[in-house]
């Protein structure tokens, strides 16, 4: 009889659920996709309902539940933290304690009550440590029999970083870094100081860092000040934060603003305040410190394990610029990163830890990626799409039975400058749209980056867009020697494709309009790109679309950004897609085999495939 394990994360941010059957990942999804609340931290009842339905599992067939951390150990850290900083932090203590005493201290009881409410009683509940959940999510789905494991984030219970060794079905933790000394919290402090939201805006800091001038004296001075005043990075990659500059241990904010203002000559940026070159240089400075620290951690980790295969998880593993540097690190043999590296992936890791560590089950089918390329969420039938077409006749729904014709129409629309919402197959697990819940556009068009940011995503104009490229063509465009199916690696656009080596003399925002290559809308200001490689096996339909686009234009590459707008989750259902389509400047929507257009776009014609197309 099959063993069914449900892992979940909740009650902090980014609640999620993953379901294993005999150790195989059957389904996984974040709660935010169903509630439409970005980063939803609530008990993931909707995601639970989905994964059980996907597997056709009833409550009686569930063998174990795994929560992604140990709540009592986290409570211990909270108490000891306040005790260490007495009498500071009274305001934060008084706010946190009632919440903990009411809900979080008794999470085991609360979890049982939640499961009872949805019809599950008597299922054993396991509580692996937070960083063990991260480590399990990184190692067990990877293609390696043995691997060095590095997990880095803000904080779990006590740990902020671990180095481990994965061997067969076992994980051994070799080194730990403890709170409050945290590389993730250091980066989050700069996220806060630069005016972005902690736990969701860190990738904005990474994007802004590319606008920084690495040769400018001010950038070098910022790096020096960070290293001298804020953080002591040791030779082995461990670090000590100077808590005289940080407020997160005792208050409800990240930084001591007056000290930071004095140190950097900048006031903390307000959310809608204009970004300047100085902000970009500061973002670059902390990015460089993060890269230096991670490189030292990797060197230490691999020297401890003797294994050059590296797997990573934890929020810092989502820093794709840093990942790209590690890809070229001579210490690293092969690199695999959990695509849902944050707390959502902890749900998967918790379930895998129970299966492999508690139950002692061996791993199967090594030398392959077990994440199903991230396509672990819900899919919808053509009947769902048909229902949408009946509800929205004003969107001129046209059902295209022939797949080649559908792909040709879509590719042609993109080549003519139209922006396409692309909704197909199973929803992606993790923060990236990988070709099933995507907005697609022409990377050759220099106006697309500005247009999509302003008219579709409604977000900051400096934000870059990622390319999705035919795996077999990736080396033609980028300095990338291996597959990157999860859009987690940043590499340079190849020199021979670059048209202009843009300089930094012009203003920060003016640099956006400078054309750097023949694929300008996916070439960032530092001539880099965050790449998704698409293979015939990873996503056959998306691969065919890229191939159709190449047949038309000679370019097997598209802009691929997530199907959502700023501060909203990626769309989950056809209804979500229709709503987002109607509220933005997208030109056409392809839902399954049905094309929707807006009234002003009625001129879109169905054209048959040209006879010489393959």
Identify the sign of the CA torsion 218, 224, 225, 226. Answer: positive
**86-135 pLDDT, tens digit each:** 555 555 555 655 655 555 556 778 888 888 888 888 889 999 999 999 99
Q: Looking at the structure, do residues 39 and 81 belong to the same domain, yes or no?
A: yes
Q: Looking at the structure, do residues 94 and 206 belong to the same domain, yes or no?
A: no
With cut-offs at 50, 70 and 90, classify the pLDDT of residue 384: very high
Q: Looking at the structure, do residues 413 and 547 belong to the same domain, yes or no?
A: yes
Mean of the pLDDT values across residues 255-267?
97
Q: What is the mean pLDDT of the chain?
A: 91
Which CATH number covers residue 212?
3.30.420.40
Q: Is the predicted pLDDT of residue 325 greater than 70, yes or no?
A: yes
411, part of any domain: yes
Please provide the DSSP assignment of 292-314 as one string: HHHHHHHHHHHHHH----EEEES
pTM above 0.75, yes or no: yes
Q: What percent of the chain has pLDDT over 90?
A: 79
In contact, 41 and 11? CB cutoff 8 Å:
yes
Q: Looking at the structure, do residues 190 and 280 belong to the same domain, yes or no?
A: yes
Q: Is the predicted pLDDT of residue 611 greater than 90, yes or no?
A: no
- Name the residue range of residue 65's domain: 4-141+339-370
CA angle 351, 355, 356 (to 5 degrees): 115
Q: Which two tokens stand for residue 362?
A: 């061996």
542, part of any domain: yes
So what's the pLDDT on residue 76? 58
Q: Looking at the structure, do residues 536 and 510 belong to the same domain, yes or no?
A: yes
User: How far apart are alpha carbons 285 and 270 in whole angstroms?
Assistant: 20
Q: Looking at the structure, do residues 56 and 189 belong to the same domain, yes or no?
A: no
**502-561 pLDDT, tens digit each:** 555 567 767 777 888 999 999 999 999 999 999 999 999 999 999 999 999 999 999 999
Q: Which two tokens stand for residue 240?
A: 């000590």
Query: Which of 595, 562, 567 minimizes the C-alpha distance to 410?
Result: 595
**9-58 pLDDT, tens digit each:** 999 889 999 999 999 999 999 999 999 999 999 999 999 999 999 999 98
**171-198 pLDDT, tens digit each:** 999 999 999 999 999 999 999 999 999 9
Q: Looking at the structure, do residues 186 and 272 belong to the same domain, yes or no?
A: yes
Q: Looking at the structure, do residues 346 and 331 belong to the same domain, yes or no?
A: no
User: How far apart are alpha carbons 475 and 532 in whole angstroms?
Assistant: 12
- How many CA atoms, within 13 angstroms, populate the side-chain half-sphere of residue 359? 21
- Tell me how many domains the chain contains: 3
Q: Is the predicted pLDDT of residue 1 greater than 90, yes or no?
A: no
So what's the pLDDT on residue 506? 66
Cis geometry, peptide bond prior to residue 180 (ω within 30 degrees of 0): yes
60, part of any domain: yes
Mean of the pLDDT values across residues 238-249?
94
399, part of any domain: yes
Please state the separation of Cα 318 from the chain's center in Å: 6
Which CATH number covers residue 487?
3.90.870.20
Q: What is the 3-state secondary structure (H, E, C) of 425-487?
A: CCCECCCCCCCCEEEEECCCCCCHHHHHHHHHHCCCCCCCCEEEEEHHHHHHHECCCCCCCCC
With cut-offs at 50, 70 and 90, classify the pLDDT of residue 317: very high
Sole residue written with tokens 């939201």? 197
């Amino acid at each position: 009889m099959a063993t069914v394990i449900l892992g979940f994360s909740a009650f902090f941010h980014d609640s999620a659920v993953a379901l294993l059957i005999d150790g195989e990942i059957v389904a996984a999804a974040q709660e935010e996709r169903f509630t439409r609340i970005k980063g939803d931290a609530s008990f993931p009842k909707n995601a639970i309902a989905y994964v059980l339905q996907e597997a056709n599992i009833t409550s009686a067939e569930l063998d174990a539940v795994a929560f992604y951390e140990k709540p009592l150990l986290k409570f211990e850290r909270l108490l000891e933290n306040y005790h260490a900083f007495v009498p500071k932090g009274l305001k934060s203590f008084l706010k946190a304690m009632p919440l903990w005493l009411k809900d979080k201290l008794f999470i085991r009881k609360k979890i049982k009550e939640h499961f009872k409410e949805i019809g599950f009683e008597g299922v054993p509940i396991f509580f692996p440590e937070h960083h063990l959940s991260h480590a399990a999510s990184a190692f067990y789905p990877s293609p390696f029999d043995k691997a060095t494991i590095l997990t880095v984030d803000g904080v779990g219970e006590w740990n902020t970083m671990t180095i481990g060794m994965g061997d067969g079905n076992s994980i051994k933790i070799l080194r730990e870094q403890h709170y409050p000394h945290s590389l993730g919290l250091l980066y989050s402090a700069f996220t806060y100081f630069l005016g972005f939201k902690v736990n969701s805006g860190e990738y904005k800091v990474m994007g802004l860092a590319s606008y920084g001038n690495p040769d400018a004296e001010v950038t070098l001075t910022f790096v020096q000040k960070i290293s001298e005043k804020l953080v002591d990075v040791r030779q082995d990659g461990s670090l000590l934060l100077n808590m005289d500059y940080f407020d997160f241990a005792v208050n409800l904010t990240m930084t001591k603003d007056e000290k930071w203002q004095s140190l950097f000559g900048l006031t903390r940026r307000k959310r809608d305040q204009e970004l300047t070159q100085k902000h970009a240089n500061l973002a670059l400075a902390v990015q460089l410190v993060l890269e230096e620290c991670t490189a030292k951690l990797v060197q230490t980790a691999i020297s401890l394990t003797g294994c050059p295969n590296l797997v990573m998880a934890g929020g810092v593993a989502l820093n794709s610029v840093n990942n790209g540097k590690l890809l070229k690190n001579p210490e690293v043999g092969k690199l695999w990163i959990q695509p849902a590296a944050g707390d959502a992936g902890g749900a998967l890791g918790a379930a895998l830890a129970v299966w492999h560590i508690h139950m002692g089950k061996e791993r199967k089918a090594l030398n392959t990626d077990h994440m199903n390329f991230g396509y672990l969420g819900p899919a919808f039938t053509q009947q769902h799409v048909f229902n949408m077409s009946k509800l929205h006749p004003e969107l001129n729904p046209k059902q295209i039975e022939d797949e080649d014709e559908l792909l040709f129409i879509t590719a042609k629309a993109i080549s003519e400058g139209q922006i396409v919402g692309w909704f197909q197959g199973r929803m992606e697990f993790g923060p990236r749209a990988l070709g099933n819940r995507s907005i697609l556009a022409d990377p050759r068009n220099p106006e697309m980056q500005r247009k999509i940011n302003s008219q579709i995503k409604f977000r900051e104009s400096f934000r870059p867009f990622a390319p999705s490229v035919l795996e077999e063509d990736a080396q033609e465009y980028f300095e990338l020697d291996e597959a990157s199916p999860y859009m987690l690696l940043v590499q340079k656009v190849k020199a021979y494709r670059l048209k202009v080596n843009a300089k930094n003399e012009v203003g920060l925002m003016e640099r956006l309009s400078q054309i750097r290559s023949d694929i300008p809308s996916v070439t960032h200001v530092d001539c880099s790109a965050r790449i998704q490689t698409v293979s015939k096996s990873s996503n056959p339909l998306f691969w065919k679309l890229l191939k159709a686009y190449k047949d038309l234009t000679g370019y097997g590459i598209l802009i691929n950004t997530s199907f959502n707008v700023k501060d909203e989750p990626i769309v989950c259902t056809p209804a979500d897609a229709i709503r987002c389509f109607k509220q933005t400047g997208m030109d056409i929507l392809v839902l399954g085999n049905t094309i929707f257009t807006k009234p002003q776009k009625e001129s879109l014609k169905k054209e048959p495939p040209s006879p010489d197309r393959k």
